[in-house]
Amino acid sequence: MTRIILVALLMVAACKADPEPAWGLDPMYIEPVGDEEIIGFQTWEFFGDRWKKKHAGKHFVCAAVIEFTGTPTTASCPKCTHAWKIESTLLESDCPNALATDPLVLSLRRIGLTETLSAEDAPHAKTSEGWADYGYGWELHGWAYPDTFDNGGSSNATSWDASEPYALWPTAAWPL
């Protein structure tokens, strides 16, 4: 978790190449608390219009780090085996005040995970789908997998079992 916070804070302090944000990504990190609840971070990363061509980091504009807690919910999520209701708080941002307080930044209401998939384009062998509800119903967020995979580590988990942190990586960007 410390690594995610450090990366998020470094991104908040990064140089700005494009003046106005035009695209947003929201990778998330969740960690089990007890048997059912989670804590996590959602880092909105905003990029300028030129980012859409090459997805280059030099088009980074600003970031907003959101801290959240999640409690289990039975709300139906397509194919999800686990789902949580989210309560979030803006932790830090270097974005213009209008963007940092935009409803989009704090709109996450629920997240969910499916069983492990065997998709050809999945980033790791033990990858699930991550689902999100930003206040308009469930939608596919992207990939979800044990966080240790991003550092070359391994995991015995075959799906979320509340034993280790997970990364949720978006498979699409939000046009602003």
pTM tops 0.85, yes or no = no
Express each pLDDT in 87-96 by its tens digit. Answer: 999 999 999 8
| Domains of the chain, residue spans | 2-175
Express each pLDDT in 18-75 by its tens digit. Answer: 578 889 999 999 999 987 999 999 999 999 998 888 888 899 999 999 999 999 998 7
State how far the Cα of 151 lies from the Cα of 165, in Å rounded to an integer: 13
Phi/psi of residue 42, each to 5°?
-120, 125
Give yes or no for a contact between 37 and 20, defined as CB atoms under 8 angstroms apart: no
DSSP state of 173: P
